[in-house]
């Protein structure tokens, strides 16, 4: 069984604030995330998985996984930009996807909650429903026929994903949010055991898993923090814009909508998207 892995840093075991993703604490956070990945791989191998490819995607591909500490069964896709996955690799075919170290969307009492670009993107809606990065990643994988099997992170993101998937995605809670910058973290050994156990169960039930695909047509709506950013993003062709802080893109194909989302982010984070 071939497993695809997407990683983010904010939802890793022990990471509780931006201080954990910067400066001298950054190496420790990378080590904790790498350990979480290894636990997921070990659990999946116990259930029969033999092949793993990880897409190193924190902050558009910042390369946070420590290769010299990563399980030897895992290949790694690295480079920039990687938003959830490097799409060119998805067509190779995988049997399931793991989302490790995920965080909840903005507006909740979740650890480091945001969606895509903190301070720039306020909310993303898929067919009218507010979604976070894990839901978008699962939908992208689903557009290539790959079912998402597992998510790990704080209690908020795990609950969000389980509700969104109607319980079809296994979840491993590694910490309990107290605020945006604080959490009650499990001991690493316990967090890793939760991930290992959930990964094993996820692979064992993978035969019944189905790829997530939204009904067509697909509408992605992005609400930006600043109206001026939305106005400039709306220069893109085929975007619907009513003068508010939100823009919308509709297409029959989710992959096209995803690529439009990437283009929106590129404009919003470029000099074109800068506000005075």
pLDDT digits (tens, 9 = 90+) for 137-155: 999 999 999 999 999 999 9
Q: What stretch(es) of the chain map to CATH 3.40.50.10780? A: 2-112+132-208
pLDDT exceeds 80 at position 20:
no
> Architecture of domain 2-112+132-208 in CATH?
3-Layer(aba) Sandwich (3.40)
Instruction: Count how many Cα atoms sit within 13 Å of the Cα of residue 7 in the half-sphere of its side chain.
Output: 32
Q: What is the mean pLDDT of the chain?
A: 92
Provide the whole-model pTM: 0.93
> What sign does the dihedral 218-263-248-133 (CA atoms) show?
positive
Q: What stretch(es) of the chain map to CATH 3.30.1360.130? A: 218-273
Q: Are 142 and 212 in contact (CB under 8 A)?
A: yes
pLDDT exceeds 90 at position 271:
no
pLDDT exceeds 70 at position 253:
yes
The token pair at 143 is 């557009």
pLDDT at position 34, please? 97
> Architecture of domain 218-273 in CATH?
2-Layer Sandwich (3.30)
């Amino acid at each position: 069984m071939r497993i695809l892995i997407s990683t983010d840093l904010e939802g890793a075991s022990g990471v509780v604030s931006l201080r954990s993703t910067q400066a001298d604490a950054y190496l420790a956070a990378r080590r904790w995330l790498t350990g979480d990945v290894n636990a997921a791989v070990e659990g999946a191998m116990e259930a029969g998985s033999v092949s793993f490819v990880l897409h190193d995607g924190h902050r558009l591909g910042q390369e946070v996984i420590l290769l010299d500490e990563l399980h030897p069964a895992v290949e790694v896709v690295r480079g920039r930009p990687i938003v959830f996955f490097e799409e060119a690799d998805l067509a190779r075919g995988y049997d399931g996807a793991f989302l490790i170290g995920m965080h909840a969307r903005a507006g909740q009492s979740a650890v480091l909650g945001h969606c895509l670009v903190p301070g720039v993107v306020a909310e993303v809606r898929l067919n009218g429903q507010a979604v976070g990065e894990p839901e978008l990643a699962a939908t992208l994988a689903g557009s290539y026929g790959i079912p998402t099997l597992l998510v790990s992170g704080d209690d908020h993101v795990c609950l969000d994903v389980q509700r969104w998937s109607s319980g079809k995605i296994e979840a491993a809670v590694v910490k309990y949010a107290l605020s945006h910058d604080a959490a009650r973290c499990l001991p690493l050994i316990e967090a890793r055991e939760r991930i290992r156990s959930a990964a094993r169960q996820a692979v064992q039930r993978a035969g019944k898993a189905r790829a997530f695909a939204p009904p067509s047509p697909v509408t992605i709506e992005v609400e930006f923090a600043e109206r001026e950013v939305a106005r400039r993003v709306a220069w893109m062709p085929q975007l619907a814009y009513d003068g508010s802080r939100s823009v919308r893109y509709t297409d029959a194909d989710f992959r096209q909508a995803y690529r439009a989302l990437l283009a929106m982010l590129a404009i919003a984070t470029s000099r074109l998207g800068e506000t005075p």
